[in-house]
């Protein structure tokens, strides 16, 4: 069994002490061992980043961008290898992995524009012989803690832009599927990134706490569950760190009676069951406005769910692979059991799915509940699996109230042909990312990603313009060069340009 190393100061570092198994979720077999860093290993990465920072912050942004351009090219050249590793350790289909990687590459393309996005503002003669300007300066050593469900894309939301802004970065990826993340970081070094600018440290809560507690780490980005997001935000903020912590979701899709049902169903199938539902933007609740809409939706959904092609993610032509771990599978099955006990109507049951040749894999089939009510756990909590719940309401206003009352506010969408309804929904819904006839409204790289309420802790969203703001701090400079032949008396009133 192979052992995965840390990447510190441009070199592989063998883990000492504790380790964890990495599984192939399609077979249930342990295929690799990943080290779980102790405090000393985390400190090695911090020291490497601190040492690299002075030279990197003074590297012209255009030269930083040149490294990013080469990095992008290497990712495109190694796409098949990266996607195979993602699928092998996460379980998602290779086609889904390719889509994930491409969205990550788009964030590198945005970061390549660093010379433009880092330009400050300049004002001449704000007062007599006085000029003023602003400068966006890097923070120093920053860190990212990323989830298992997007081992390529989410890290690429973070460190390309942070590094383009002149920071040095420590990445703590998920210990469940770290190989693709490590390979991508190695390719960044192959592109010419100086040693110490990007470091990858594997680990669990111990490594996370070490990053939070380290005074040298000035900012932390996180994507994961809400309890951990809240923990990282509170612990980091009280130590004076800048924190953006993206948490969980319970994303609703509202379907009105005038919607194109065939297109809505196709969209819902991909949004609910793509990546086996292991997406923070997955649609897990359909709010059908009217019983007629609900009945028609279910009639169209059932045969498509039953026809889902499920198998080993590394195979081509599939719709869905396994869940990431046995614990994840058992958790999803537990939610299905709980929904039945609570009185929801189980229309399609995915609990007993078996994939020939992969009987020990962590599979759950597409599952559909009808007549779900807001008091049920399957409605309230993030299941993170291939389970879609149908809730019935009588009006758009009731649907919106349902969404606004939920503790999460990550993503939502509305299926309709009614422009007035769409505008009302966009204006009044208390959710950070909204789609109209778009089921997964993930913003493009030059916008920013983030939810509302308990889906985001911190003031700034991920990547895009908010990412630049997060990874830099503004310095305002006011400069005066008096004329040589003049002498001015002291002024005791507060200065102004009046």
Other CB atoms within a 10 A radius of the CB of residue 162 amount to 28
Catalytic residue among 83, 165, 280, 413: 280
Active site residue 280: yes
- CA gap 174, 187 in Å, rounded: 19
Q: Which of 249, 275, 251 is nearest to 364 (CA)?
A: 275
- CA gap 34, 175 in Å, rounded: 7
Q: Is 250 helix (H, G, I), strand (E, B) or coil?
A: coil
- Tokens standing for residue 221: 């980005």
- CA gap 71, 231 in Å, rounded: 33
Q: Are 352 and 346 in contact (CB under 8 A)?
A: no
- CA gap 111, 127 in Å, rounded: 36
- CA gap 65, 447 in Å, rounded: 19
Q: For residues 341-376, b (16+ Cβ closer than 10 Å) or e, as one string? A: eeebeebbebeebebeebeebbbbbbbbbbebeeeb
Q: Known catalytic residues?
A: 280
């Amino acid at each position: 069994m192979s052992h995965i190393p840390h990447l510190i100061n441009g070199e592989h570092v063998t883990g000492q002490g504790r380790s964890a198994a990495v599984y192939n979720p399609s077979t249930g077999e342990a295929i690799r061992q990943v080290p779980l860093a102790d405090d000393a290993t985390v400190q090695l990465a911090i020291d490497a980043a601190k040492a690299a920072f002075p030279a990197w912050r003074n590297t012209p942004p255009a030269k930083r961008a040149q490294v990013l351009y080469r990095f992008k090219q290497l990712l495109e050249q190694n796409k098949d290898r990266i996607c195979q590793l993602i699928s092998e350790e996460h379980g998602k289909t290779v086609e889904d992995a390719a889509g994930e990687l491409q969205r990550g590459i788009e964030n590198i393309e945005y970061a390549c524009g660093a010379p433009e996005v880092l330009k400050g503002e300049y004002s001449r003669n704000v007062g007599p012989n006085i000029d003023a300007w602003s400068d966006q300066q890097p923070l120093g050593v920053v860190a990212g803690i990323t989830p298992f469900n997007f081992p390529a894309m989410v890290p690429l939301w973070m460190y390309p832009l942070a590094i383009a802004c002149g920071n040095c970065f420590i990445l703590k990826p998920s210990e469940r599927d770290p190989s693709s993340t490590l390979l991508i970081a190695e390719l960044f070094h192959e592109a010419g990134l100086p040693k110490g600018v990007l470091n990858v440290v594997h680990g669990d809560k111990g490594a996370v706490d070490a990053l939070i507690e380290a005074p040298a780490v000035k900012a932390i980005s996180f994507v994961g569950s809400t309890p951990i997001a809240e923990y990282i935000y509170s612990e980091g903020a009280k130590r004076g760190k800048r924190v953006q912590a993206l948490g969980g979701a319970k994303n609703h899709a509202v379907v009105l009676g005038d919607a194109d049902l065939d297109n809505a169903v196709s969209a819902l199938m991909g949004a609910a069951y793509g990546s086996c539902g292991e997406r923070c933007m997955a649609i897990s609740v359909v709010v059908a406005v009217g019983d007629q809409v609900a009945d028609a939706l279910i009639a169209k959904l059932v045969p498509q769910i039953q026809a889902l092609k499920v198998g080993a993610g590394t195979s081509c032509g599939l719709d869905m692979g396994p869940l990431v771990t046995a614990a994840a599978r058992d958790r999803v099955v537990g939610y299905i059991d709980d929904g039945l006990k609570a009185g929801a109507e189980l229309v399609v049951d995915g609990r007993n799915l078996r994939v020939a040749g992969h009987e020990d894999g962590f599979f759950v089939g597409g599952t559909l509940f009808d007549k779900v009510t807001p008091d049920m756990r399957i409605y309230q909590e993030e299941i993170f699996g291939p389970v879609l719940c149908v809730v019935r309401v009588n009006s758009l206003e009731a649907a919106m109230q349902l969404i606004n009352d939920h503790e999460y506010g990550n993503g939502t969408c509305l299926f309709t042909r009614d422009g007035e309804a769409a505008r009302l929904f966009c204006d009044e819904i208390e959710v950070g990312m909204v789609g109209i006839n778009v089921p997964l409204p993930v913003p493009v790289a030059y916008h920013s990603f983030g939810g509302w309420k308990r889906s985001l802790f911190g003031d700034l969203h991920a990547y895009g313009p908010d990412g630049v703001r997060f990874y830099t701090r503004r310095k305002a400079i006011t400069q005066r060069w008096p004329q040589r032949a003049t002498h001015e008396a002291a002024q005791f009133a507060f200065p102004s340009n009046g």
